[in-house]
Structures are given as structure tokens and as C-alpha cells.
Amino acid sequence: MDAVKAHTASNESSNAPFQWPSKMPQHRSIGLYLLWYGALWTFVTTEGVAPTNNAAERALRRAVLWRRRSFGTQSAEGSIFAARLLTVVTTLRQQERDVLDYLTDACAAHLTGTPSPSLLPQVQPTTLNAPLPVAA
């Protein structure tokens, strides 16, 4: 631990990577811990950062399960289609919008030559005139 204290004291303001003396067998794991220390404990120091990646895993779960059940796609075009459709489904579900209604409107717009519906969140008119929040 003397090596850690010496490194911290001498390089407190620099971003130089920590290096253990090569004779110590634990140099890799502790060195990696020190390298990633800031990222590992961000959720403690920053409000609003979750300690897990559950939200990201839940967003990907539908796509992963679809790929597992369907054995993926057979062409590059099929992969592009699947990626776009899964993006649309995930976006609409996050916005609590009906997926079937959106896809029906999109297909109807394509057949009639009109602009397709937007995936952007629909803003309520009352929120446009609301005052902006003030940072504390």
C-alpha cells in the first residue's frame, strides 16, 4: 500500500496511470481498480446515476429475445429492417405510445405519399409556456 500512497502523493493532480512494481503479484487487479476507480463509484458522487445498468438492459431485452427466437436475419437488408423496427418499438414504448397505431399510420402515410408520423415525443402545448427550471 506504500506504493499507492506514494503514487497518490506525487501524482495527485496529474492523470498519469498508476503502475505497480513488477514484483508484486496483485499489480494487475489493484492497478485496474485504481484506473477505473472514478467510473466505478460515479453513482455515489453524482445524483441521478443509478448503481446498476438495469435501464439499459431492459431497453435491449426485447431485441435480444427477438433475435434468440428468430435466429436473427439472413441478409444485410433484413438486419437494417430489424434494427429500425426494434428502434421504433423501443422508442414508442418509452413514450408510452401505441406501437400498432404508429405502424398503421406509417404504412398509410407511405401508401398515400404523405409524410410519415414523427417518433419525437409529442409536446403538450401547456409545457411550452411553462417557466424553465432554475438550477440550484
Q: Tens digits of per-residue pLDDT, 15-54? A: 666 665 555 566 667 777 777 777 777 888 888 877 777 7
Q: Which residues of the chain have pLDDT under 50?
A: none
List the domain range (segments joined by +) for residue 32. 2-45
Query: Which ranges of the chain does DSSP label H, i.e. alpha helix?
Result: 2-10, 27-40, 42-45, 54-70, 76-94, 99-112, 125-128
Q: What pLDDT does 108 receive?
A: 96
* Domain total in the chain: 2
For residue 93, is it within any domain? Answer: yes
Check if the beta carbon of residue 49 is closer than 8 Å to that of residue 43: yes
Rounded CA separation 64/82 (Å)? 12
Q: Are residues 59 and 95 in the same domain?
A: yes
Please provide the distance, in angstroms rounded to a whole number, between the alpha carbons at the two ends of the chain.
40
Look up the pTM and report it.
0.51
Tell me what the pLDDT averaged over the chain comes to.
77
Q: What pLDDT does 135 receive?
A: 63
For residue 27, is it within any domain? Answer: yes
